[in-house]
Amino acid sequence: MTAIFGKDNPITSNAHMLKWVDRIVKIAKPTSVVWITGEQDQLDALRKEACELGILEKLNEEKLPGCYLHRSNPNDVARVEDRTFICTRKEENAGPTNNWMDPNEMYAKLDGILEGAMEGREMYIVPFSMGVVGSPFAKYGVEITDSIYVVLSMAIMTRMGKSVLDAIGDSKEFTRGVHSKVKLDPENRYIAHFPEDNTIISLNSGYGGNVLLGKKCLALRLASFYGRREGWLAEHMLILGIENPKGEVRYVAAAFPSACGKTNLAMLIPPTHYVKSGWKIYCVGDDIAWLRVGDDGRLWAVNPEYGFFGVAPGTNAKTNPNALETTKKNTIFTNVVKNLDDNTVWWEGLTATPPTHALNWKGEPWTAESGEKGAHPNSRFTAPAENCPCISSEFNSTKGVPISAIIFGGRRAKTAPLVYQARDWNHGVFVGSIMASETTAAKEGAVGVVRRDPMAMLPFCGYHMGDYWAHWLDMGKKIEHKPKIFNVNWFRTNDEGKFIWPGFGDNLRVLEWILTRCHDGVEAVDTPIGMMPHVGDIDIDHLDDVNDAIMKDLLTVDKELWKVEMENIKTFYEEFGDRLPQKLMDELTATEERLNK
Ligand code: OXD
Ligand code: MN
C-alpha cells in the first residue's frame, strides 16, 4: 500500500473530533485510517492509488493535464430527493417539503447500515472549510469517507486539509459528516441531515451531489438552518460581477431551478458590441451564495465553494467557453464518454462530431450511431474555480461582494415576461416564493407541467419553508440598503414553441437594464405583477432575430394566465398551513386586485 502522510496518525488533538472519529471507526471497522492533510504529495499518492484500483482513469496529459475520468455505479447517477431527510427533533420543523425521520430512529438505522461497512477499506478523514479558512463566515466540517473519489473531489470543491484543523483548534463547532459507499444499495441509500446536531450522514451512494457533503448538505441544507438562527441567508444562487464601460463593478445574485443555465449565466461572454465598449463579467460563484448584512447596511455575498460541479452535456465553446476552459486541467470528469483515439473526453453537445472509437459513460464500447446517449445526461465536471478565465478577483475575499440585485427565474413558456422588478422587498420575497419551472422534453414525464421551486431551494432548505419565507421577510428589515429584486425568464416561446429570446451572453442586455434600475434610475412600466422595461429600454442592437414586436411580446403580461397562476399559488400555499407568513398572502391578494382592475 502507498505510504500516506497522517496514516493512522491523527494530526489533531481535538478531543471532540478524536472521540467522534473513534466512534465511527468502531462501527465501520476500516482497515486503517488516513487523515487528509491536503498536501500535494498525499493527494498525488491517492490519485495514483485510485488509478491502480480503477476508481479513476488518467486522461491525456498533454491535452487535459491533471485530468481524470470516473464512472459511478449506473444505479447512482443523481441526487436522490426521496432518500434525503431532515431529521429535526420535531417533525413540523422540517416542514411539508422535506422528508423527515425522528433523529434517534435515523441514527439507529444508519448505525446498523454502517456496521462493518468499511471492513477491508481505508477510511479517510477530510477536514474542509466552506468559505475562506480563517474568515469569520467560514463553516468548518470534517467528512469521514471510504471513497478516494470523494477525497479528491473535496480537494477541488472545498478548501481542505491541515489548515482547517488548525482553524478548528479544540472547538467542538464543526460539521460531522460521515459518508460510506457501503454496498451502493439504492434501497438503503440515505442522505440524512441532523441540523440540531451539526451532523450529516450519507450512506450507499458515490454520486457527487449526495456525497460531497460540503456542497448541498452543508452549504445549503445545514447552512440555511444556521442562517435563520444567526441572521443570514444560505441560498442556491450564482454570484456574478458586471463591469460597465465606466469601470464600475456591480454584483448580482441569481437563483434558478436546475436546468435553467445557472453556470452559463455565471460565466457569460458579453455580446461583441458590449465587449468593444468595455463591459466585463466576473464569476464569483455558480451555485451557492451566503448572504450577510454588512456594516455599511448593504447585503454582502460569498461563494463558500472552491470549485464547480457542473453538468457536462451541452457545455461547449459557444454555450459556455469559460466553463469549457475551466475543465481543461486538474478536473475530474464523471460519467462522460471516453474518446479512445486520444484518451480525452466527450459529451453530447461538446462538438458536432462524436468520437468514432469510444466508451460510453458505463464504460461500454459506444458509437453515436447506436442512437443512445454516450454521456449520462447528468454527467459532470469537478473543476477548480481558479481555472475559470473570468473568475472574480474577489473570489477569495473574506467579506465577499455587495449585492445590487437579487434575481429569481424559471423556465416558463408564456406566463412570466422576460424581466420584471418586484415593487419592494416583501413583494420580492413573494416573487421568489412563487418561482416555478415548466418541465421540458429532456426529462421523463409530461411536458409543460409547472413545478414550484421557491427560491430554487425546494430540495435544499433545511427547515420549514414557511419559516424560511418568514426569515427572508425579516432579513428585509435588517438590510438598510436592500438589493432590488427581479424575476427573469429566458425561455418565452412563440406559438410554434420556439424560444424568442436568444439567451446565453445576450442575457447581459437584461442585466444591464436591471443594474440601471438599481443604480441610475430608468423609468419602468407599472404592471399588475411588477415594474417592467419600456420596449426600447433593453438594448437589442445587432440581434438579428429580435425586433420591437418581439420585445413587446417578451414584455407582455397575460392577465388571464396570471389569474390562473394566482389560483395555483393559493393551492400551493395551502401546504404550508399556519406557517405561511400572512405578508405573502397579502402580496397575493394585492396582486389579484391589480390583475382584476
Ligand atoms: C446541482 C443541483 O448539482 O442543483 O447544483 O442539482
Ligand atoms: Mn445547484
CA–centroid distance, 209 to ligand 1, in Å, is 7
CA–centroid distance, 84 to ligand 1, in Å, is 14
202/538 Cα distance (integer angstroms):
47
Q: Is the CB of 458 under 6 A from ligand 1?
A: no
Q: pTM of the full predicted structure?
A: 0.97
What confidence score (pLDDT) does residue 39 get?
95
DSSP codes of every residue in 410-444: ---SSSS-SEEE-SSHHHHHHHHHT-EEE--TTSS
Q: Is the CB of 259 under 6 A from ligand 1?
A: no
User: Which grid cell is 216?
Assistant: 448541498
The candidate with the shortest Cα–Cα distance to 460, out of 16, 53, 86, 147, is 86
Residue bearing the CA closest to ligand 1, atom 2: 258
Residue bearing the CA closest to ligand 1, atom 5: 287
Residue bearing the CA closest to ligand 1, atom 3: 209
What confidence score (pLDDT) does residue 7 get?
64
Q: Which residue in 67, 260, 283, 388 is the catalytic one?
A: 260
260 part of the active site: yes
CA–centroid distance, 170 to ligand 2, in Å, is 33
- Ligand 1 pocket: which of 211, 256, 258 to mutate (most atoms <8 Å of CB)? 258
CA–centroid distance, 405 to ligand 2, in Å, is 20
Which ligand 1 atom is at minimum distance from the Cα of 380? 3
- Ligand 1 pocket: which of 216, 286, 309 to mutate (most atoms <8 Å of CB)? 216
Which ligand 1 atom is at minimum distance from the Cα of 311? 3
What confidence score (pLDDT) does residue 2 get?
39
What confidence score (pLDDT) does residue 1 get?
37
Residue-wise pLDDT tens for the chain (597 aa)?
334 456 667 889 999 999 999 999 999 999 999 999 999 999 999 999 999 999 999 999 999 999 999 999 999 999 999 999 999 999 999 999 999 999 999 999 999 999 999 999 999 999 999 999 999 999 999 999 999 999 999 999 999 999 999 999 999 999 999 999 999 999 999 999 999 999 999 999 999 999 999 999 999 999 999 999 999 999 999 999 999 999 999 999 999 998 788 999 999 999 999 999 999 999 999 999 999 999 999 999 999 999 999 999 999 999 999 999 999 999 999 999 999 999 999 999 999 999 999 999 999 999 999 999 999 999 999 999 999 999 999 999 999 999 999 999 999 999 999 999 999 999 999 999 999 998 766 555 667 789 999 999 999 999 999 999 999 999 999 999 999 999 999 999 998 989 999 999 999 999 999 999 999 889 999 999 999 999 999 999 999 999 999 999 999 999 999 999 999 999 999 999 999 999 999 999 999 999 998
What confidence score (pLDDT) does residue 3 get?
41
Q: Count how many Cα atoms sit within 13 Å of the Cα of residue 147 in the half-sphere of its side chain.
A: 30
191/208 Cα distance (integer angstroms):
12
In b/e form, how buried is each residue of 231-270, taking b as 16+ CB within 10 angstroms?
ebbbbbbbbbbbebeeeebbbbbbbbbbebbbbbbbbbbb
- Tell me the pLDDT tens digit for each residue of 227-263: 999 999 999 999 999 999 999 999 999 999 987 889 9
- Tell me the pLDDT tens digit for each residue of 506-521: 999 999 999 999 998 8
The candidate with the shortest Cα–Cα distance to 17, out of 38, 5, 33, 41, is 33
